[in-house]
Amino acid sequence: MLEALYLQSFAALEQAFKAHVAETDCAKRLASMLNAYRAFGLREPALYNVMFGDLGRAWEAPADCRKQAWRSFETLRDAVLDNLPAAHAVDAEQVTHALWSAAHGVVSLELRKLIGPRSMPDQIFDNVISSICAANGMVCKVGTA
């Protein structure tokens, strides 16, 4: 049952990403997907917890489930690839992991109410995403979730 909930949670996140694939401006598409990640976590804290949270201490998804879960991020990786300068295209997987790591860190802290007033998580989210993008030759302004 936990495996099914785990996979369903990632499928819902994937749909949140896919809701933005029609955006023709690749920078806006990437920003929208990253904002969708944050909004999903804040809107669905119980599912987010199944995916990444405290439940993991009592249960670990099997390797095949984790592989399937990572496929949920292919849409985000494609948006990263569209934004990377051609010389950095080989880094798409690494940049996607970096963006996910940063977004996940902010969302996790925000859900646990460990970072300041409402505007602080917005600023931190934008700063970490913008920094990773800039370090990889991209522009991505996520703004407010």
Report pLDDT digits (tens) over 19-72. Answer: 999 999 999 999 999 999 999 999 999 999 888 876 656 778 889 988 888 889
Instruction: Delimit the domains of the chain by residue range.
Output: 2-135
Mean pLDDT, to the nearest integer, of 111-124? 86
CA 119 to chain centre: 19
| Domain 2-135 fold | Tetracycline Repressor; domain 2 (1.10.357)
Instruction: Give start and end residues of each alpha helix (H) in 44-73.
Output: 45-52, 63-71
- Global pTM? 0.89
Q: What is the pLDDT of residue 145?
A: 43
